[in-house]
Every structure is written in C-alpha cells, then in structure tokens.
C-alpha cells in the first residue's frame, strides 16, 4: 500500500461518514419544541434525556444527513457511476444513509441518557462522550444492518486506517463545529 492508497482510504472513509457528521449540527438549527422524552423523568428524579433532545432536532437533523448523502451520491456518480463512490446500489445506499444519520442521533441521545443518569445537566460537559457518542451510534446501527459495508470500508485490512483517522479528527471537528455554532448564536455553550 502506497501513500496515495492510504490517503484514498482515509479520505473516502471521511467522505462516506459525512452523513453521520451533519445531523448533530443540523439538530442545533432545527431543534426546539417537544422534547423526545416528553418532559418525563426517571426514578432518580432526573429527566430521561432532557430538553436538549427534541423531535424536531431528531428528524430535521437526520433528514439533513440523508439529503447530504444523496448530494454526495450525485456528485460521485459523475466519476464513478457504478458504485456511487462507496454507498453501493440504490436502496442499500438509502438504507446506509438512514442508518448513518439516525444512528448518529440515537448515539447522541444515548449520550444524553447516560449524562442524566450520572447527574450531568443538559449542556454540561461530558468529555469524550460528547465528542464520540454519535460516532458510536452511527457505527453500531449501520454495522448491525449493513455489516459488510462497515467491514469493507472501516475494518478490513488497511481500511482500519479510515476508522482510526475518523476517531483521530473527530475531537477537533466537534470542537470547531460547536465553537462556530456558539459564535453564530445557535448554541448556548461553545462545546
């Protein structure tokens, strides 16, 4: 494997994962209204998920990820009409996009669930979990429904470098995205 091959693996791994990265940011824009837990608390007296997880954020965020994915398929079909540059044939690619974007936000909700159980309030920091919950959610949901796709792109042989690359850059990507959202007045905290 030469340098160009390794770069291709890492960049296409990032490209394919973009539909999982957009939903969190899009949820900040579309979010608001009824919370996913409908305001309910658990026996520990704390909210199940909290006011930071809303239905509008979930569906607005996830559908933004799917639309971005369709755009990426459109762009890549110009030079690779056979494979849509990695998402595979129609229906399986729609399925993968749905798994990546909804999986990301399910992971985000699981993160909030764990934060509440640990007594960490909405919007308070929970290092590592805040940055990686959506990555874990996206890989679990996509991995269960499309195991060959995840294995082929992120695990098999040198492709593991794509996964390691994603994990390495996600901390910085998350920080920058939240900082921008904070500066634009979309978020209350810069993390």
Q: Report the interface residues with ligand CTP, using CB under 6 A.
A: 27-28, 31, 50, 52-54, 57-58, 105, 108, 112, 115, 122-123, 187
Q: Look up residue 49 and give its two tokens.
A: 């998920």
For ligand CTP, the closer CB: 122 or 155: 122
Q: Which residues pair with 35 in a beta bridge?
A: 54
As measured in angstroms, the least distance from the Cβ of 191 to ligand CTP is 8
Q: C-alpha distances in angstroms, 22 versus 8, 9, 83, 102, 134? A: 21, 21, 23, 11, 10
As measured in angstroms, the least distance from the Cβ of 12 to ligand CTP is 27
- Of all residues in the chain, what percent are helix, strand and coil, respectively (each to 5)? 70, 0, 30
As measured in angstroms, the least distance from the Cβ of 18 to ligand CTP is 18
If phi over 0 gives left and psi between -120 and 50 gives alpha, with beta otherwise, what is residue 91? Answer: left
As measured in angstroms, the least distance from the Cβ of 117 to ligand CTP is 11
Alpha-carbon distance 166 to 182, whole Å? 23
As measured in angstroms, the least distance from the Cβ of 6 to ligand CTP is 33
As measured in angstroms, the least distance from the Cβ of 120 to ligand CTP is 7
3-state secondary structure of 47: strand
For ligand CTP, the closer CB: 148 or 183: 183
For ligand CTP, the closer CB: 73 or 187: 187
Alpha-carbon distance 25 to 45, whole Å? 29
For ligand CTP, the closer CB: 10 or 98: 98
For ligand CTP, the closer CB: 120 or 162: 120
For ligand CTP, the closer CB: 123 or 147: 123
The torsion defined by the Cα of 120, 122, 126 and 128, in degrees rounded to 10, comes to 140
């Amino acid at each position: 494997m030469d340098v160009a091959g390794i770069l291709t693996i890492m960049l296409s791994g990032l490209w394919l994962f973009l539909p999982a990265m957009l939903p969190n940011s899009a949820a900040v824009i579309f979010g608001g209204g009824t919370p996913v837990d409908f305001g309910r608390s658990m026996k520990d007296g704390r909210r199940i998920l909290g006011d930071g997880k809303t239905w509008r954020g979930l569906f607005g965020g996830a559908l933004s990820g799917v639309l971005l994915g369709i755009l990426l398929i459109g762009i890549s079909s110009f030079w690779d009409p056979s494979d849509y540059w990695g998402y595979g044939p129609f229906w399986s690619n729609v399925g993968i996009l749905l798994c990546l974007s909804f999986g990301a936000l399910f992971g985000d909700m699981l993160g909030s669930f764990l934060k509440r159980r640990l007594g960490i309030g909405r919007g308070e920091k929970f290092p590592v979990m805040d940055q990686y919950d959506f990555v874990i959610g996206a890989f679990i949901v996509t991995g269960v429904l499309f195991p060959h796709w995840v294995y082929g792109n992120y695990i098999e042989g040198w492709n593991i470098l794509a996964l390691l690359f994603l994990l390495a850059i996600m901390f910085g990507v998350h920080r920058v995205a939240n900082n921008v959202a904070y500066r634009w007045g979309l978020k209350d905290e810069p993390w």
